[in-house]
Amino acid sequence: MSTTYLTVRQRASKLGSAFAMFRNAKSIAGLAILMAFVLVAIFAEQLAPFSPTQINPRARLQPPSAEHWLGTTHLGEDVLSQVIYGTRGVVIVGALTALIAMTIAIVVGVLAGYLSGWRSEALSALANVFLVIPGIPILIIIASQFTNPPLWLIAAVLGLLGWGWGARVLRAQTMSLRNRDFVQAAKLNGERLHRIIGVEMLPNLMAIIASSFVGSVTAAILGLTTLSYIGVIPVNAYNWGTILNWASAQGAFVQNQWWWYLPPGLCIAAIGVALALLNFGIDEYVNPRLRSAGERARAMKKKGLDVTNAVTVVRAHQTSTENQ
Amino acid sequence: MTTTDVTEVVTQGTTATQAAKARAKVPWRFLGQRAAFYLFTLWAALTINFFVPRMMKGDAVDNYLARNREISPEAADALRALLGLDSDKSMWEQYVDYFGMLLRGDLGVSITHGLQPVSGVIATALPWTVGLIGLATLAAVVIGTVGGAFVGWKRGSRLDVLIPITTFLSTVPYFWIGLMAISVFSVGLGWLPIGKAYGVGQEPGFNLEFILNVIEHGTLPLATIVIASLGGWMLGMRNMMLTVLDEDYITVAQAKGMPNRRVLWRYAARNAVLPQIQSFALSIGFIVGGAIIVEQVFSYPGVGKMLLDATNAKDYALMQGGFLVIVLAVLVANIVADLVYAVLDPRTRQSEA
């Protein structure tokens, strides 16, 4: 009802406030790095100088050169092209897994938070079971069942196993929202359940959803590259973990062929940094103390005060005046 | 205060003594809830463990036959019966049998280890894993929590740099840090051995030479796990400290002249550590998963490497046994975290009242 009276500008500002958590330097830097990787994944064909599987017997294990910017593998494949094509698997699995995990997490978490009594407890116990059971061993066992598991299947398994944390955080936040005045007022107005959850509560859960989403993407990328590295995911679908699998199997780490193992690892790290920055940004938006604490402490230091000793400093000052 | 009041106080106790009595009371409701949760989780894990190998294509015996050709079809059938793979039983009967065997501690036999009982194979691998992953996790939690408390206390100082650095390290997969450690410290500098739990030709025994050898081999994998998992603990503790340090009771404690050290550890850190313990309980499964891969990277003869080898060889009994042990270890760690939490936070014990 109430939204029908909103003007266009009010709507725009409402939409804008939903993205306020991304409007700080850390979040923007993180998003920029992520976008760069997504673009690389989309335009892999145009960007890669070679096919990732193009064998060249005359250029094996070459260090970086003008022709092969990141050198070549034991078969003469171009490492740069492999890294570029490898971005696809990582981006697809990361996004798909997080979508699946967050869909389950939002449904279970918000329901568990909104309901009360045994239903809430049962849903919460379910989420905790998925949190406690170690995922990687299950993934190893499941992935080994398939000779050639497609990426969507890996994403589905990662997502089905990885929603527990998001559901838990969302439940806690929903429980605290449930008793706030505006939700109670909506209830008394006779608003329907889906409207209370969708219009009243969900906007207040956006920051937590975003932060859980980022966490899911991180976990999915770590899971995918780890499984690819140990070789339970087919070696023909290139991603950064697969490259490391090949490099490790061919002894690149022992023979110090750094151009082969360093780039894929640094790419995993770079995407990890982007996601961590994004998470820092959201965290500081949700809990402004995290940002202000450091700023306040530095401001106090400028005035010659010690932040850990704020109270005693004042007393020391008093005693010194008494002595005079 | 009249005499009757005094006798009343002596016989019945003040509010403080009542609180002390309440503390001694066993919180049955809390314990019951937790026990039910753990039993349910255990059942869920065991059921997954039962069904996953049965959904697979091709069984372990086919795999075994491919490697040992001189086995007759009768012997193959006998082997199937021995491994519980005979197909004339219904799924439900197999499920009941499976739990019966688990209760007797019978995990079947391992095809890749010359038909040795799985429990024996696991028993040789388990001490290495408990030693390596247990120690590493404990070290990471202690260093991260103490470090995070200190960084939070010294907010705004140069120590803040530690937070992005450790967070960066925790976004990189465990195995890559392990591989980098090998290439730098083992291959590049030659300081530490590349892998395995002890050197070739070393006879396991309780003597100084062997122990030193084990420590030398364990340093890199241990350091890898600590470095990779430190960030989460440090960030979590520091964020919680920043919130707690703004509380009024901290200001009051400082205003009445309490030594800073006591304010930091007994007032701020003790309260900030509570969510830490909860997140320890919940993330232990994730950590163990990553640590398993570290065993693979360093060819460390623990349960994780055993599980991977068993999976590659389709040795289902050993695979199930390995998964079971990992789940049990995670559940035990959770129970310990629950107990520590109950000791540190009186509110969980008083939920009865």
CA distance linking residue A280 with residue B165, whole number of Å: 13
Residue type, A115: L
Q: Say yes or no to pLDDT of A81 above 90.
A: no
A144 interfacial to chain B (CB closer than 8 Å): yes
Q: How many Cα atoms occupy the beta-carbon half-sphere of A77 within 13 Å?
A: 19
**Structure confidence at residue A320 (pLDDT):** 46
Among B residues 263-302, those touching chain A with beta carbons less than 8 Å apart? 264, 281-282, 284-286, 288-290, 292-293, 296
Which three-class secondary structure state does DSSP give residue A233? Answer: coil
Q: Which residue of A has its CA nearest to B41?
A: A129
Degrees to nearest 5, angle at CA B326 with A145 and B141 = 125
Contacts of A138 in chain B (CB under 8 A): 48, 52, 323
pTM given for the model: 0.78
Is the distance from CB of B195 to CB of B224 less than 8 angstroms?
A: no
* Nearest alpha carbon to residue A69 among A41, A47, A88: A47
**Structure confidence at residue A105 (pLDDT):** 92
Q: Say yes or no to pLDDT of A2 above 60.
A: no
Residue B210 neighbours by CB distance under 10 Å: 15
Q: Which comes out higher in pLDDT, residue B66 or A4?
A: B66
Q: Are strands B116-117 and B109-110 parallel, antiparallel or unpaired?
A: antiparallel
* Contact state of A315 with B257 under an 8 Å Cβ cutoff: yes
Q: Say yes or no to pLDDT of A16 above 80.
A: no
**Structure confidence at residue A98 (pLDDT):** 92
B187-230 per-position pLDDT tens digit: 777 677 777 767 666 666 667 777 777 777 778 888 888 888 88
Is the distance from CB of B229 to CB of B290 less than 8 angstroms?
A: yes
A173 interfacial to chain B (CB closer than 8 Å): no
Structure tokens at A283: 């965290």
Residue located via tokens 């981006």:
A91
A131-182 per-position pLDDT tens digit: 877 777 788 777 777 777 778 888 888 898 888 888 888 888 888 888 888 8
**Structure confidence at residue A96 (pLDDT):** 92
B334 interfacial to chain A (CB closer than 8 Å): yes
Q: What is the largest CA-CA distance in chain B?
A: 97
**Structure confidence at residue A99 (pLDDT):** 93
What confidence tier does A318 reach under pLDDT thresholds 50, 70, 90? very low
Of B187, B243, B245, which is closest to A254 when you measure between CB atoms?
Answer: B187
**Structure confidence at residue A35 (pLDDT):** 92
Q: Which DSSP string corresponds to B113-147?
A: TTTEEHHHHHHHHHHHHIIIIIHHHHHHHHHHHHH
A318 interfacial to chain B (CB closer than 8 Å): no
Which of A34, A235, A302, A311 would you mutate first to test chain B, the one with the most B CBs within 10 A? Answer: A311
Q: Say yes or no to pLDDT of A322 above 50.
A: no
Distance from CA of B224 to the nearest CA of A (A): 15
What confidence tier does A97 reach under pLDDT thresholds 50, 70, 90? very high
Of B41, B176, B182, which is closest to A268 when you measure between CB atoms?
Answer: B176
Q: Say yes or no to pLDDT of A64 above 90.
A: no
Percentage of chain A exceeding pLDDT 90: 6
- Residue B116's φ and ψ, nearest 5 degrees, are -65, 150
Distance from CA of A12 to the nearest CA of B (A): 33
The terminus-to-terminus CA distance of chain B in angstroms comes to 30
**Structure confidence at residue B1 (pLDDT):** 45
Q: Which comes out higher in pLDDT, residue A11 or B16?
A: A11
A235 interfacial to chain B (CB closer than 8 Å): no
Q: Say yes or no to pLDDT of A104 above 90.
A: yes
What does the mean pLDDT of chain A come to? Answer: 79
Element (H, E) at A323: helix A310-323
Range with lowest mean pLDDT among A65-69, A282-286, B41-45, B267-271: A65-69
Is the distance from CB of A155 to CB of A220 less than 8 angstroms?
A: yes
**Structure confidence at residue B171 (pLDDT):** 78
A310 interfacial to chain B (CB closer than 8 Å): yes
* Contact state of A254 with B172 under an 8 Å Cβ cutoff: no
What's the rounded mean pLDDT across residues A240-260? 80
pLDDT along chain B (353 residues), means of 10: 52 53 63 82 83 64 62 69 64 81 77 77 84 87 90 81 80 83 76 70 69 76 87 86 84 84 86 82 77 83 85 79 84 82 70 41
B188 interfacial to chain A (CB closer than 8 Å): yes
What's the rounded mean pLDDT across residues A210-227? 87
Residue A43 neighbours by CB distance under 10 Å: 12
**Structure confidence at residue B92 (pLDDT):** 80
Range list of β-strands (E), chain B: 109-110, 116-117
Distance from CA of A164 to the nearest CA of B (A): 10
Of B44, B155, B246, which is closest to A129 when you measure between CB atoms?
Answer: B44
Q: Which DSSP string corresponds to A105-160?
A: HHHHHHHHHHS-THHHHHHHHHHHHHHHS-HHHHHHHHHTT-SS--HHHHHHHHHH
What's the rounded mean pLDDT across residues A12-35? 78
Q: Which comes out higher in pLDDT, residue A238 or B223?
A: B223
A103 interfacial to chain B (CB closer than 8 Å): no
What confidence tier does A323 reach under pLDDT thresholds 50, 70, 90? very low
Degrees to nearest 5, angle at CA B326 with B97 and A228 = 110
